[in-house]
Structure 1
Amino acid sequence: MPSPLPPGRLAAELLLASRWFDDALRARLAAEGWPPVTPTRSRAFLAMSGGPARISDLARELDITRQAAHQLVDGLEADGLVTRRPDPTDRRAQTVDLTTAGRDLARAAGRILPALEHELSDRIGSDAVAALRDALARDRGPAPG
């Protein structure tokens, strides 16, 4: 069966699908009483999921200026979700790590996301979600230059 998606449209649809998950996740977190999570904050949490990150690395990962990254971290810190520390390997840099509340928020997101996948299965079919999961798990190699 041919795809109903015209060639050249896949990237846009992947971005829209990502936004569907992020919008739903942020709405559910808000309904549970968490501080507002913007799309940028959501991406910052993803960037810190592997552990502490330098502010400069966050800026690069989020494709924002270092000044914007500092402002983002200021807000997350004010909400008690992250803490800054001097980087032990570079005294000029700072690392950002999730606080207990930040880890609790990340765990809440980790609980909500599988439920959203289940909802997507109900909407488009479990076979389609399984095929999507399989396709996205494959190694795409480096981005073409």
Structure 2
Amino acid sequence: MKVWYFAYGSNLDLETMRRKVGSWYELKPAILRNYRLVFDHYSPSWSGGTADVVESEGGIVYGAAYLLDEEQLKILDRFEGVPTSYNRRKVLIEVAGEKLEAFTYVVSNPKKYVRPSEEYLSKVLKGLRRLGYGDDVVNGVRRAAMGKA
């Protein structure tokens, strides 16, 4: 069975995702409504904060929808540190105006704010640009990375 996965952090970077799951069936820009992007988890492997989404009325998180098989999702669970670091959550996303059920990951034990490393942030921003997102979205993520969103 195939499932949609909503990425909003380093998994926006195509090379990062390829290393983790190989190839995917589809990849499209996607929106997660009524959530906002925050950096509230410390990752030793990134030496800094990593992204999370938290419920927020009227909020929007821009990201990617990857169509994967269930085995690839299980592989992602291991990479994301389920359940210690992140938990998998079912969400409703929008892809080209169509609502789709997808899975995403939310931080298990969030901190207040953890500044991301430049390397991590550059992967996120590069992924957004490749998906065709403009300066407004990229700058919004930069603000969130500074704890200002």
- For the criterion TM > 0.5, the same-fold answer is no
Q: State the structure with bigger RCO (CA 8 A, min sep 6), 1 or 2.
A: 2
The TM-score normalised by the length of structure 2 is 0.26
Q: Which has the higher strand share?
A: 2
